[in-house]
Amino acid sequence: MFQKKSAEGYKPAIDKIEMKTLVHGEKTLLVEFRMKKGALLPRHSHPHEQTGYLLSGNMELTIDAETFNVKPGDSWCIAGDIEHNAVILEDTVAVEVFSPVREDYLP
């Protein structure tokens, strides 16, 4: 699968957060998240491993019981079924890979 950059295809995820599935294969799925300052990603977990990279902005990411101040160039990996949440401190863009594919994120 190949996808050209496009400003179209973003959809609301939760308040102040929008997402776009960029590409997916049989075992992985790549998503871009655009998050507005003040957004709160509630504490949650899912069976998918989640690996991310911060392109721009700033957020506090809590993985299990540890909180990180995430800045551009920082990355993370969250094992499946581990609780996590985030507080968005300024407008932020992150790219994340999910494995296995999140069926609920398929276009």
**Distance (Å, rounded) from C-alpha 20 to C-alpha 105?**
8
What local confidence, expressed as pLDDT, does residue 45 receive?
Answer: 98
What are 80's two structure tokens? Answer: 């499946």
What local confidence, expressed as pLDDT, does residue 43 receive?
Answer: 98
pLDDT (tens digit, 9 = 90+) per residue, 27-69?
999 999 999 999 999 999 999 999 999 999 999 999 999 999 9
All domains in the chain, ordered by first residue: 14-105 (2.60.120.10)
What local confidence, expressed as pLDDT, does residue 107 receive?
Answer: 86
The answer to whether the predicted template modeling score (pTM) of the entire model surpasses 0.75 is yes
What local confidence, expressed as pLDDT, does residue 83 receive?
Answer: 98
What are 5's two structure tokens? Answer: 């950059």
